[in-house]
Amino acid sequence: MKINSNNPEKKGRNKKCGEIVLTFASLALVLAACGSSSTASSNPPSASATSGNLTWWASPIAQVGIRADLISNFEKAYPKIHVTLQSAPTNTDTNRSQLVTEISGGSTSPDVFMGDVIWPAQFGAHGLAVPLSKYLPSSYFTKFAPGLVSGATYNGQVYGSPLFEDQGFLYYRKDLLAKANLPVPTTWSQLESESLTLEHDGLVQYGYVWEGASYEGLTCNFMEYLASAGGTVTNSTYTKANLTSPSAVKAVTFMRSLVTSGASPAAVTTFQEPQAMAVFDSGNAAFLRNWDYAWSNSQTPADSKVVGEVGVAPLPTFTGNSYPGYSNIGGWNLYINPHSKNLAIDLTFIKWMSSTAAQDILGKTYSEIPTVESVRLALASLSSTPPPLKIAAQTKLVPRPAGTPNYPALSSAIYSNVNSALSGSTSVNAALASAQSKAATALAGGI
């Protein structure tokens, strides 16, 4: 997911909810060819998993040195296992395309690859990743934060082991709320009302900025409203779309009201992560919905005029529901190449990456959000922990509806039509009817 930082490493691995290029459609012939390929499941891992070699394919992770640090600590724990790092492309779509080409061609390398949280169905359906739940006990998956494993599951099997994650947060101007004697909003209607109050009092130009452009980021934002309204995009088997449900209507009607009321600028329908963050960091908005990296950006003097004035909270919910609302899941999992000759070693590596030692490195040293719930809770109690990591342990997570191999087309059906409703070019009901029709086509395997 391409996103908002000028740091190319940040752009690559943090493609939280950015633009999805429909490369899987163009690779249909390649994928079909690999459907009958043999997988690691026909070759049970050997009893020994304490010596050998493996190759780890991973794109750069934010701060330089994280991958090397993780490898170094793993090799200290398993001195007879050597890990070779293959640096993956920083662009997630290019990364995915290269992996598809290599694995569908039968390559035994890489053994383990770091991949987007929305890949399980796309890779699992075409034999491009090992179903980890065939080799790891159910108890292994219970340690992860709720929502992460369901997002890594396709057709009843878990394909990805959560490595680190991201999610939506509400950023707010502490100084403006103090001047107006307003609390941090906990409901969406309260957020809208406070935005209008701050604007009308002349304290800020815009109330609330977020990602409303016609791209994958809008699907992420929509999921947060939809989940808070009690809705889902599809049924549990991904055979039927639910995009004309009362919950979907409620979600999009409210999103549109943010624009029509003036709580959000009309230009929000063109905003991706960089534009929303830039407006907030320039001091021109009271509230921002964005990912965890927005915190450090807001506290960097070269990029921000609101250093020291920013608070972080869970996203709101709809009135009558329990706070907090839902945060959409971004981030990265670890997957195993089905052609790997080192399955036992691969599993050892993946299990260590979900250990307290590895998750502490990600969280304490590099401020990535850990996926293991106990580590998240422990980090939240430390005074040195950045606000997003403190808040992460309090939030509810919702994955995107990526449990279908045709997720890119499903997401396009959502964001293109929701954007039409936001911009006012189509009514809410007409937009959702169109989304429902296109989603049904996507779920049936069409384009």
Q: Supply the pTM of this predicted model.
A: 0.90
Q: What is the DSSP string of 366-418?
A: T-PEESBHHHHHHHHT-TTS-HHHHHHTT-EEE--S--STTHHHHHHHHHHHH
pLDDT, tens digit (0-9, with 9 covering 90-100), for 26-65: 444 344 444 433 344 444 554 457 899 999 999 998 777 9
Domain 169-327+403-443: top CATH class: alpha beta
- Span(s) in the chain for CATH 3.40.190.10: 8-166+331-397, 169-327+403-443
pLDDT along the chain (447 residues), means of 10: 34 47 43 42 53 95 88 97 96 94 97 97 97 97 96 96 97 98 98 98 98 98 98 96 98 98 98 98 98 95 97 98 97 98 97 98 95 96 94 94 96 98 98 98 83
Per the CB < 8 A criterion, the answer to whether 218 and 415 are in contact is yes
What's residue 3's pLDDT?
A: 32
CATH class of 8-166+331-397: alpha beta
Q: Which helix (H) or strand (E) holds 352?
A: helix 343-353
In angstroms, the Cα distances linking 55 to 6, 71, 279, 317, 339 are 29, 11, 42, 43, 12
Nearest Cα residue to 190 out of 170, 210, 219: 170
- Find tokens 């009302």 and name the residue: 193
Q: Which tens digits make up the pLDDT trace of 185-222?
A: 999 999 999 999 999 999 999 999 999 999 999 999 99
